[in-house]
Amino acid sequence: MKKLKLPFSGKDLPLSDGQRVWLDGLLSGFSQQAVIRKDFAEDMNIGLPLAILYGSQTGNAESVAYACAEMAKNYGLTAQVIDMGDIEVDDLSAIERLLIVTSTYGEGEMPDNAESLWQAISADDALKLPQTFFSVLALGDTAYDEFCEAGKLWDERLEQLGAKRIAERVDCDVDFEDDAEAWSANVLPIISQKGSQKLAEAPQKQTAKVQSQYTRKNPLLATLITKKTLTSDQSGKEIVHYEFDLGDSGETYQVGGMLNVLPRNHNQLVEELLAVLKADAGDSVTWREREITLGELFSDKLEIRNPSIELVQAIAERSDNTKLLVLLDQREQLEDFIYGKDIVYLLNRYPAAAFDAESLLPLLKPLSPRAYSISSSLNKHDKQVHLTVGSVRYTLQNKTILCDRQYLGVCSTWLADSVAVGDEVPCYFSPNKHFTVPQDDNCPMIMVGPGTGIAPFRAFLEEREVRGASGDNWLFFGDREEKNDFIYREELLSWQQSGLLTRLDLAFSRDQAEKIYVQTRMAEHGKALFEWLQRGAYFYVCGDASRMAKDVDKTLHQIIAEYGGLNDAGAKAYVEAMKKAKRYVRDVY
């Protein structure tokens, strides 16, 4: 891609040194990518227009938005699907028909791609939207306290700005497909009768998204062809590399995307649950208007690992346990109590609840797919997809009932213990639109991915190697111990020797008295890191959202403030500009 020439530099403007640093960094980032922004307000005047905005962290909301757009054709609507990160708040004022589809990230937060737009529309001086008709679909997980909070906030804010709600918000749990389809079928005929009915002569211009035939309801069966443990036998972790053959499915994916795996519950957990319920695997029950055995239901259909708040409430009420009933009103303490425990633990801990299979089934949610960051490039591994998965196994540390029992992650241990080479695994892909390598092969990349967070960056480096990209690449990687946990060591050192990996900084926390993390290494090399940002480097983070990603973000702000000569507000503005330019993107969980 031809490098764009800057129209001017910060030195040409009457700015302070700090302001000039901020502007030079911003312009450098934009110069590295040929960004041609559509005039959404103009597009909205074409056809009988409908705008569907999505906020998505893992691709689910995006997929729902495109499915809704396809259905909209049946009602004389020409739908434009818009990433919330690709539209300015002022463009909303030109939209008459607006549908919002958004997930909720973490504890009630907006997805990364929706954050900037949400901040703008939340401002006191945001434009009023009296001409807008809207409805909201919220995706979430009832396991979290702030269930569907992002959708609730959008619904409330649009009403505050004068927009007219044409149908009540629908909040979806992890099994969202049927509810999302019903919401679309309800709102589309209503919204088609709202606003101006004038049709333009020219068709609306939008690149159509190719929808895969493979979904949660119709998964691809990928064959496991390679399975290799990456950590040593002495490691306190088990990280496994998996390679799957896509066969002649014709399925494709982009680096940075997700593979959603539809797991089975571990045989050990199924047997334990049947035992506590005093039931047999062959017992037949009615579920969703069909006969099915408990063995099949618990193995393939229902979430029997993670307890829901509704289940805890039912246990408290059935057992008349005062302490547990009080805990239900103290959500933070309740979450701390539930953390790490499973349904079998709770049923054993409170036997007075006296559940049998019939009374337990209505309280169990459908078994949901597990999303994993793809760790391969399709351009390097034809008809293959690779995963890097940490197997979740632990015992409870506190001295309570069943404290010596091993607790197992659902999908990670199913893959590790039950899926053999040659077996087929049901799965489907989800895109992660902005979390991918820069279009411009000359752009530098800074990647921060400790532990299994390295997965997408292995794919990034493979992609850049195949493309012959000339941009510099810098990886921050770490784990507990170098001798036991340095996964993909040979590949990384080979890439470093070849020059593909310009810089490799390692942080193994337990190899010295004082713990060192990836953010420690970032701070140590802050000056060089800031120089890369000034050259327009993209900054990527993958891994733990609760601590690592927050610490990395804090360190990034500190580096920009120190070496950019900025105060806290200036550093925040610099980072926001990076996010706006899609130069600071995350895949965190």
* Mean pLDDT score of the chain: 89
Domain stops at, among 348, 363, 378 = 363
Can you tell me which residue has the tokens 């610099």? Answer: 574
Pair (259, 279) in one structural domain: no
Q: What pLDDT is recorded for position 288?
A: 87
In single-letter form, the type of residue at position 119 comes to Q
Q: What is the pLDDT of residue 332?
A: 81
Comparing CA positions, the residue from 447, 387, 416, 459 lying closest to residue 584 is: 447
Residue type, position 59, single letter: G
H or E element that contains 224: strand 220-229
Domain containing residue 285: CATH number = 1.20.990.10
- Give this prediction's pTM: 0.86
The model's pLDDT over 470-521, given as tens digits with 9 standing for 90+, comes to 999 999 999 999 999 999 999 999 999 999 999 999 999 998 989 999 999 9
Asked whether residue 6 is assigned to any structural domain, the reply reads no
Please report, for residues 380, 470, 496, 503, the alpha-carbon distance to residue 466 in angstroms, rounded to integers and kept in the order given. 7, 11, 16, 19
pLDDT at 15 over 80: no
Q: Domain for residue 570, yes or no?
A: yes
Number of other residues whose CB lies within 10 A of the CB of residue 218: 10
Could you read off the pLDDT of 255-306 as tens digits, one per residue? 999 999 999 999 999 999 999 999 999 999 999 889 999 999 999 999 999 9
Helix (H, G, I), strand (E, B) or coil at 210: coil
| Exposure b/e, 477-487, CB count within 10 A at least 16 = b | bbbbbeebbbb
Q: What pLDDT digit, counting tens, does each position of 309-351 carry?
A: 889 999 999 999 999 999 988 888 888 888 888 999 999 999 9
To 10 degrees, the CA torsion angle through 279, 282, 285, 286? 160
Using pLDDT thresholds of 50, 70 and 90, give the confidence band for residue 226. Answer: very high
Residue 5 within a domain: no
Rounded CA separation 487/485 (Å):
6
Of 68-77, 350-359, 493-502, the range with the highest mean pLDDT is 493-502
Nearest to 306 by CA among 526, 518, 141, 90: 141
CA distance 554 to 321: 43
* 18 within a domain of the structure (yes/no): no
Same domain, 274 and 256: no
> Domain boundary residue among 323, 347, 363?
363
- 443 pLDDT above the threshold of 80: yes
Q: State whether residue 75 is helix, strand or coil.
A: helix
Sequence-ordered list of residues with C-beta below 8 angstroms from that of 569, at least 6 positions apart, any chain: none
Tell me which of 489-493, 535-539, 543-547 is least confident. Answer: 543-547
Average pLDDT (541-567) is 96
Q: What pLDDT does 308 receive?
A: 87
Note whether 424 and 549 are same-domain residues: no
Q: Which of 171-175, 421-425, 546-550 has the highest mean pLDDT?
A: 421-425
Residue of higher predicted confidence among 462 and 510: 462
CATH of the domain at 233: 2.40.30.10
Residue at a domain's end among 306, 339, 363: 363
Within a domain: 383: yes
CATH number at residue 450: 3.40.50.80
Return the SS3 of 495: helix
Give me the pLDDT at residue 12, please: 47
Q: In the prediction, which pLDDT does 289 show? A: 87
Beta-bridge partners for 170: 137
Arithmetic mean of pLDDT, 379-401: 87
Q: Within this chain, do residues 407 and 553 fall inside the same structural domain, yes or no?
A: no
Residue 159, in any domain of the structure = yes
Instruction: Report CA torsion sign: 169, 174, 180, 182.
Output: negative
Report, as an integer, the average pLDDT of 404-417.
Answer: 92
Give the pLDDT score at 551: 97
Transcribe 376-444 into DSSP letters: S-TTTSTTEEEEEEE--EEE--SSSTTTTSEEE-HHHHHHHHH--TT-EEEEEEE--TTSS--SSTTS-
> Is 356's pLDDT higher than 90?
yes
- Do 47 and 185 belong together in one domain? yes
Q: Is residue 135 part of a domain?
A: yes
Structural domain containing residue 100:
40-191
Please check the confidence at residue 107 and state whether its pLDDT lies above 80. no
* 406-408 vs 393-395, strand pairing mode: antiparallel
Question: Could you tell me which of 162, 105, 193, 209 has the C-alpha nearest to residue 430?
Answer: 209
Q: Are residues 537 and 578 in the same domain?
A: yes
Same domain, 384 and 321: no
User: Over 70: is that where the pLDDT of 23 sits?
Assistant: no
Decide if 511 is inside a domain. yes
φ, ψ at 275 (rounded to 5°):
-65, -45
Instruction: Mark whether 281 and 254 lie in a shared domain.
Output: no
Same domain, 138 and 89: yes
For residues 6-30, average pLDDT: 49
Pick the closest to residue 457 from 491, 490, 485, 428 (CA basis). Answer: 491
- Whether residues 501 and 562 fall in one domain: yes
- Tell me, yes or no, whether 320 and 399 share the same domain: no
Question: Is the pLDDT assigned to residue 11 strictly greater than 90?
Answer: no
> Are residue 45 and residue 154 in the same domain, yes or no?
yes
325: three-class secondary structure by DSSP: helix
Report the number of distinct structural domains present in the chain: 4
Contact 500, 461 (CB under 8 A): yes
